[in-house]
Amino acid sequence: MTPAEASQKTKEICALAPVVPVLVVDDAAHAAPLARALVAGGLPALEVTLRTPAALDVIREMAQVEGGVVGAGTLLTPADVKAAVAAGARFGVSPGATDTILKACEDEGLPLLPGAATASEAMRLLERGYTAMKFFPAEASGGAPALKAIGAPIPQISFCPTGGVSLKNAHDYLGLSNVMCVGGSWVAPKDKVLSGDWDGIESLAREAAQLKG
C-alpha cells in the first residue's frame, strides 16, 4: 500500500464520525459489548491501543462486531504491525513516525495514521506521500491554535488531533479546516467499562457523534 493510498483510506475512516474512541482495555471480555455500545452510539471507528496484554484479543473480539471498523493504536514496531493485522485491525495509529514503522505498515497493507506534532514532522510525512496524520500530543503541543497555525502553510494535510482532547475542547479542533475528526478516551471511561455500563457509554458516544466544528 502506498502512502497516498493509506492516507485516502484513513481519511475515509476518519470521515465516519467526528470522534474516534481511543480505547485502553484490560479485559477482552469487555471488548464486544464496548464496541457494540460505541457503534450503536454512532462511533464506528475504534482505536484499540496496544498498551495492555489483552489488546490483541480485544481487537480480535471487536473485529467481529457488525458495523465497527477496528484499528490498532500505539504501533511502535514492525512486530506490532504484524500482530495487529493478524488480529484483524483495519487501520493503524502511531504516536510518531519512523521509517521503520512506515515501511512496516506499507508492506503489510495497513492504512496508517502517523503521528506528527511539528511542521517539520508533518512536512517529512508529506514528502513521503502522507496527507492524513495524527496531531499528538494535541493539547501539550499547543492545542487548536498550534494546529491552525501549522495548517496555514500546509493546507493539504488533514489531522486527527489526539491527546488531551475532551468533550469540552473538541469543538475547538473540529472547527478547523485541517481537522478530519478527533481522537478521545472520554467516550469510554474506565469506571463505566469496569461496571459494564454499556448504556452509559452508548449515551456518551451518541453525544460525541453529534459534535460539529
47 is catalytic: yes
Q: Is 88 helix (H, G, I), strand (E, B) or coil?
A: coil
Catalytic residue among 9, 61, 106, 134: 134
Q: Is 185 helix (H, G, I), strand (E, B) or coil?
A: coil
HSE at residue 154, side-chain half, CA atoms within 13 A, is 25
Q: Is 173 helix (H, G, I), strand (E, B) or coil?
A: helix
* 48 burial level (CB within 10 Å; 0-12, 13-18, 19+): buried
> What is the helix (H) or strand (E) element at residue 85, kind and residue range?
helix 78-87
139 is catalytic: no
CB 51 within 8 A of CB 74: yes
CB 106 within 8 A of CB 130: no
Alpha carbon distance 15, 207 (integer Å): 17
Catalytic center residues: 47, 134
